[in-house]
Structure 1
Amino acid sequence: MSARLVEIIVPDAEVPRTKAIIAEHCSRFWQEAVPDGLEKFSCVVPSRSIESLIAELDDNFKNVAGFSVLVLQVEAVLPAIPELEEIAPFSSEECKPPSRLEIFFTRDRISTNELYDDIEASLELRPNYLLTVILSALIAALGMRSGQTAVVIGAMIIAPLLGPTMAMAMAATVGDKALGRKAIITLVTGILAALIFTYLLGMFIEVNPLVPELRNRSIVHPADIALALACGAAGVLAFSQGASLSLVGVMIAVALVPPIAAAGLFFGSGEEMLGLRALFLLATNLVCINVAGIVTFLVQGLPPRNWRITSGIFLIWLVILLLFVGLVGGRIVLGSDGPIYLPEDSLSAQQIAPY
């Protein structure tokens, strides 16, 4: 069981109330005096209890001068603490103990405050963000053009689209309009920057749509939908457990960066229809990531501020996803794609077979 060291500073007058709150969430804590008439409590708290502890402290002391909370990662605890291995007893009769299912899904999730801290810096529209988005898209575009899968994977490792993508799903889950607005602006800006530069690249290099790496980004397969759903769920799961952001970023970038880069190349080389198809794949993947992300956040116990807002946003994403699935299914059933011919000045006798 993972744990956190929570340091709580309150005025001397609030010591009894603070002790009572802490005792409901953990059995091991220390108290020491600090300057300016304040007391500091250091508590070892199970990760599953962090959310409720911080919420209760905030409700009671948010307007109290001198109040502050610091949460730190704990690597090991000796001697063992009982509640780190089993359900901690709840002394308050008003508090309903968590069910076994809730404990199973939330036992390793970091708190909402930690999620916000991890994601906040990645939502800033800084030159480094735009530069890494552009470079990752250009590398992916060149890798797909030459059919080098390893280069495409390398581009996804540096793609910084994790922050805004995770923030969109998180904002929808908790009902945070400000976070969602900031995430959308950051993500759209990054996508537009990548499209512009890959479009310019497509104007100056020869692009062969027959290359499998490019061809596969010009159509949506049912497997692509399954892949995007899996990437969204796995990304949120890893992110909410405090996993390496590079690892989570690859999970998200695998569904976003290649379609962006392919669309830019297609538009730049005059293949508008293929460019639109690549954008459709991008839109489908983005919807899938958000649907899977919201579900995974909810399963892990991320508390919505307003269930009506959360369920409304989720239903909108779900309806869009079902519409996209219907379009993909209709194309497969009707075989409406048809062959796509290359420009006459390059391999005019070849076709891209329906796929």
Structure 2
Amino acid sequence: MRFVQVLVPTGKREAVVEVITDESIEYAITDETGTERYESVITLPLPTAAVESVLDQLRAVGIDEDATTVVLEAETVVSDRFDELDEAYANDSDDTTDGDRIARDELLARANELAPGIGPFVLMTVVSAIVATAGLLLDSPAVVVGSMVIAPLIGPAMSTSVGTVVNDTSLVVRGIKLQVLGGILAIISAAGFAFLLRAAQIVPLSAIEVFAIGEVSQRLAPDVLSLVIALGAGAAGAVSLASGVSTALVGVMIAAALVPPTAVVGIGLAWGTPRVVAGSAVLVLVNFIAINLVALVALWQLGYRPQSWFRTSEARSTTLTRIAVLTVALIILSSALAGFTYSSAQTAAFEEQTNAAIETELPPKMTMLDLTISYTGFPARTPQQVIITVGYPPEIDPPAVADAIDSRIESIASTSLYMGPEIPLVTQDYHTAISAANSNAESTATEANNTDSMGSITVELRYVAVEQT
């Protein structure tokens, strides 16, 4: 429900009253003495769905757009006529409009409120990027979520979409500028902060160790599910904005699609890993495009248009053009996501089959303690090294299983990764004695078997004798 107050220009009072009476709307009208331009103030309670229609009718009879109009949210209206009016407008809602959506003017006001001033926007963007970087390097989901809460990203995306559908060029330009500025600032802030952490040895980790951190590794290779998150965020943002409900939680969802991968781009720059930068940058671009595209489509489908019919035609042309451009860009970048997804599926299958094969080849008294696989290549990932740590009782000599495991891994690579069997593998056996009581390691033998070093996959088989306490 809304409580609407409108200043009525001099000479337009009778026409305004006639419109309101024809709509069976209860109203109160008082004289305006503050200026000669307006002669009265009309006050009327309206259902949310009726605000846009009634204001359009009032403007059609002479209330210009710059006349002061106040729309407030009403808690309760006690009136039988209001209930009938509410039901009538709910029944009149067609397929292209939602009876619960707010009016166009209210939507514009909310979009402008969500697009903050440049000072607060810059500050909050920098802080959120730094906090996200810290959370990723700490492997702390709670800190990463905190960075999403303070990120001011919902406003620019929604402003761009709202400005497009209602043909407000200044709002579109403002939204685009804030999105571009926010993305660049976030990357620079994350990269600068990560570089300081690395230079000061606060995070004394190698690139491999950094990108093995759980929160970081999750965002290295984007996949199709990342696109689903962004699409959902864009739709939720548009619907929450149009329905007049709080956008705070939806803002967190939008930030979830943008802030962490942007921070990973900065971390990749700080540690000098172009492949990480490229993968995360693709994810950021896909998410930005998806959020804008879905928000634009959702707002158009909800029935938002400019007031005048000739501006509606222009807005339709602009909206359809931007939808087409965003769709093409999303399809192109999504092909990269599909490649990442396929590569991830291949490597997952390789790891699962390798693990099962090793378990099958090991004798009953031997146990696989650890399996580590490192990869190379981008975007397609190829196994570079497989390290297998096997435990055995110290009272027995470990049986020779290297050749069997070597053969199984070669077979798996040729089927799950389409690496031909002509690629040789290097097998190295290490014998290490470890006391489970004091965890002191003592090397007893090295390199029991070494075939020709000609291939791209190195398989290291490490035997570990574990003394039971």
**What range is the shorter-chain TM-score in?**
0.7 to 0.9
1:138 CA displacement: 0.8
2:8 aligned with 1:16, yes or no?
no
Query: C-alpha distance in 2, partners of 1:202/1:137?
Result: 10
Residue 101 of structure 1 corresponds to: 95
Counterpart of 2:75, as a letter, is E
Q: Secondary structure of 1:61's partner? A: coil
Establish whether residue 167 from structure 1 lines up as the match of residue 130 from structure 2: no
Unaligned runs of 5+ in 2: 198-202, 307-311, 348-374, 378-383, 388-415, 417-469
1:280-299 maps to which residues of 2 (within 5 A)?
A: 280-299=282-301
Mapped to 1, the partners of 2:165 and 2:346 lie a distance apart of: 37
Q: Give the Cα separation in 2 of the matches to 1:166 and 1:330.
A: 30
- Does the CA-based 8 Å contact 1:125-1:186 persist in structure 2? no
Structure 2 match to 1:52: 53
Q: What does residue 152 of structure 1 align with?
A: 144
Bigger mean CA deviation after superposition, 117-126 or 219-228: 117-126
Pick closer, same or farther for the CA change 1:99–1:245 going to 2, 3 Å. closer
> Secondary structure of 1:101's partner?
coil
Return closer, same or farther for 1:350/1:58 CA change in 2, 3 Å cut-off. farther
Deviation of 1:171 (Å): 2.5
Which deviations, in whole Å up to 9, do the C-alpha atoms of 1:96-115 show, x marking residues without a partner?
A: x944534xx52221222122
Counterparts of 2:343 and 2:149, CA distance in 1: 38
Q: Match for residue 110 of structure 2?
A: 118
Contact 2:116–2:155 (CA<8 Å) still a contact in 1? no
Alignment of 1:182-201 (within 5 A): 182-201=174-193
What residue is the counterpart of 1:93 in the other structure? Answer: none
Compute the displacement of 1:55 (Å).
Answer: 2.5
Q: SS of the counterpart of 1:303?
A: coil
Secondary structure of the structure 1 residue equivalent to 2:40 = strand
Q: 2:119 corresponds to which residue? A: 127
In structure 2, the residue corresponding to 1:86 is in which secondary structure?
helix
Three-state SS of the structure 1 residue aligned to 2:42 is: strand
1:76 is aligned to: 76
**Equivalent residue for 1:273?**
275
Q: Secondary structure at the match of 2:16?
A: helix
1:177 is aligned to 2:179 = no
- Superposed CA RMSD in Å reads 2.8
The corresponding residue for 2:211 is: 209
Q: Distance in 2 between matches of 1:350 and 1:21?
A: 79
How big is the shift at 1:246? Answer: 2.0
What is the match of residue 143 of structure 1?
A: 135
TM-fit CA distance, 1:125: 4.3
Q: Which amino acid aligns with 1:328?
A: L
Paired position in structure 2 for 1:259: 261
Q: What SS class does the counterpart of residue 29 from structure 2 fall into? A: strand
How far apart are residue 54 of structure 1 and its match? 2.0
Tell me if the contact between 2:12 and 2:63 (Cα under 8 Å) persists in the aligned partners: no
Q: Which moved more, 1:263-272 or 1:4-13?
A: 4-13
Give ranges in structure 1 of 5+ residues lacking alignment. 90-96, 342-347
2:230 is aligned with 1:228: yes
Cα distance in 1, alignment partners of residues 386 and 28 from structure 2? 76
Report the structure number with the largest CA radius of gyration: 2
Q: Is the helix fraction higher in 1 or 2?
A: 1
Tell me which moved more, 119-128 or 26-35.
Answer: 119-128
Inter-partner Cα distance in structure 1 for 2:70 and 2:252: 30
In structure 1, C-alpha distance between the alignment counterparts of 2:192 and 2:184, rounded to whole Å? 12
Kindly state the Cα deviation for residue 350 of structure 1 after the two structures are TM-superposed.
8.7
Q: Find 1:314's aligned residue among 317, 323, 332.
A: 323
> What code does the residue aligned with 1:8 have?
V
Give the secondary structure class of the aligned counterpart of 2:87: coil
Query: Identity of paired residues, percent?
Result: 25
Q: For the residues of structure 1 that align with 2:243 and 2:386, how far apart are their CA atoms?
A: 49
What is the CA distance between 1:76 and its match in structure 2? 0.6
Contact 2:49–2:89 at 8 Å: present in 1 too? no
Between the aligned partners of 1:295 and 1:83, the Cα distance in structure 2 is: 32
Alpha-carbon displacement from aligned partner over 1:150-182 (angstroms, at most 9, x marks no partner): 111111111111111111222233333322111
Q: Check conservation: 2:3, 2:46, Cα contact below 8 A.
A: yes
- TM-score for the superposition, normalised by structure 1: 0.85
Please give the secondary structure, in 2, of the residue aligned with 1:108: coil
Q: Deviations over 1:1-27 (max 9, x none)?
A: xx2111122145211111122234452
Say whether the 8 Å CA contact 2:258–2:288 is kept in structure 1.
yes
- Distance in 2 (CA, whole Å) between partners of 1:48 and 1:279 is 41
Q: Which moved more, 1:188-197 or 1:331-340?
A: 331-340
**Letter matched to residue 87 of structure 2:** E
| CA spacing shift, 1:18–1:259, aligned 2, 3 Å | same
CA distance in 2: counterparts of 1:337 and 1:227, whole angstroms: 23
Q: Residues 67 and 175 from structure 1, CA distance in 2 versus in 1: closer, same or farther, beyond 3 angstroms?
A: closer
Q: Report the structure, 1 or 2, having the larger strand content.
A: 2
- Between 208-217 and 48-57, report the one with greater CA deviation: 48-57
